[in-house]
Chains A and B, each alone.
Chain A
Amino acid sequence: MELANIEKLVEKYLNAETSLQEERRLKTYFTSSNVAPHLQEYESLFSYFKSSKDQTFTKPIQLKTKRRDWKWLSAAASVVLLVSIFVGQQEYKKYQQKKTYAQVEKALIMLSTNLKKGDKAFESLYTYENTVKKVNNILKPSK
């Protein structure tokens, strides 16, 4: 009875008319130890199907993209950029300060030389005044 059923199912199976449930019945029958001799060729077929399902994807799943590396790189690059801008600004400020210092120095030197010139002018004024005094002194006694 059971065997007749299996034979019928096998026929249906070959015509691709079996349901999943019926195919599972065939699988259990042909992977058991008591298969009818005239159906033995199916034994290897169904045990192959069964054993094939044991293969699994064992590699660890990697979801990190290379894109992430680029992200890190861009972050690092922006940090470098920021640092270099900062340092550059500092250096520029120093340069600016030096420049103004030099300008101030130059101006002060100019001022001092001009003051010296003024001094000389005063000196000539003093000599003028002295001569005026001398002349006055000369003129007084004759009064």
Chain B
Amino acid sequence: MNQSDFLKIVLPFKDKVFRLAKRLLVSTEEAEDATQELLMKLWKNKEKIRDYKNIEAFSMTMIKNYCYDRLKSKQANNVKLVHSNYKEKGAGLDQKIEHQDSVSQVHELIKNLPKQQQIIIQLRDIEEYDFDEICEMVGMKPTAVRVALSRARKTIREELIKKHNYGVS
């Protein structure tokens, strides 16, 4: 397998990998590094790639695990505080104004969910994977995935209604 064959396989889902990494790691730079790392790992094992049934689902699982590892080592290094205070690079005045925008409020709300629910919301509502694929990626049973997804959606909705009512009254 040469480089262009490999890219043909990888390009369709590299953005999904990146977005999941960004969901978990928050920082764009770190998500880029994680994505790069994953692609390198795939490239190194390129001979085995054809053996995998679903390389995309496999990659999503790998990036999820990689991000968990990164977060864990961060906690160990005691820089969690820095991480949660992280602000996107180039956060200017317009972004601060946008921050009050309800769309980015959703971003904050999702950030407050448990990691697992964040992943499932990301996979279902943003990337639009079907349940079978999500089960494979997160290694959970279909019912458990549905429960987590329902819980996540309801939490976000309740928070949104709260915020919405604040604005009205």
Contact = CB atoms under 8 A, between A and B. Distances in A.
Nearest to A40: B164
Contact of A53 (B3, B126, B154): B126
A55 B22 contact: yes
B153 A48 contact: no
B164 to A, nearest CB: 5
B156 interface: yes
A135 interface: no
Interface in A27-65: 40-45, 47-49, 51-53, 55-57, 59, 61-63, 65
Contact of B126 (A52, A57, A61): A52
Q: Please tell me the size bucket of the interface on A.
A: 20 to 34
A57 B18 contact: yes
Interface residues of B, number: 42
Please report whether the interface of chain B is mostly helix, strand, loop or mixed according to DSSP: helix
B40 A63 contact: yes
Given A45-B157, A52-B126, A16 B146 contact: yes
B15 A55 contact: yes
Given A55-B15, A55-B18, A20 B157 contact: no
Interface of B: 3, 6-7, 10, 14-15, 17-19, 22, 32, 35-36, 39-40, 43-44, 101-107, 124-128, 130, 145-147, 149-150, 153-154, 156-157, 160-161, 164
